[in-house]
Amino acid sequence: MGIVVRAVSKEFAKQNILAIANLRIKVFKEFPYIYDGSLEYEVKYLERYFKAPNGHFILAIDENDSNIIVGVATCLPLAEEDDFVKKSFIENGYKIDEIFYFGESVLLSDYRGKGLGQAFFDAREKIALSFSKITTTTFCAVVRPTDHPLKPQKYTPLDGFWQKRGYKKVEGLTSQFEWLDLGEKNETAKKMQYWMKIWNR
Asked if residue 6 has pLDDT above 70, the reply is: yes
Nearest residue to 88 (alpha-carbon basis) of 76, 75, 101: 101
Q: Provide the pLDDT for residue 128.
A: 98
* Half-sphere CA count of 68, side-chain side, radius 13 A: 9
| C-alpha distance from residue 162 to each of 16, 122, 130, 166, 167 (Å) | 28, 12, 21, 7, 5
Q: Provide the pLDDT for residue 201.
A: 77
113: left (phi over 0), alpha (psi -120 to 50) or beta: left
pLDDT digit string, tens, across residues 22-33: 999 999 999 999
3-state secondary structure of 36: coil
Beta partners for 105? 73
pLDDT digit string, tens, across residues 92-111: 999 999 999 999 999 999 99
pLDDT digit string, tens, across residues 75-90: 999 999 999 999 999 9
Can you list the domains of the chain with their CATH numbers?
Answer: 3-198 (3.40.630.30)
Q: Provide the pLDDT for residue 1.
A: 60
pLDDT digit string, tens, across residues 36-56: 999 999 999 999 999 999 999
| Residue 60's pLDDT band (cuts 50, 70, 90) | very high
The CB density around residue 60, as the number of other CB atoms within 10 Å, is 27
Share of the chain above pLDDT 70, in %: 100
Confirm if 2 and 63 have CB atoms less than 8 A apart: yes
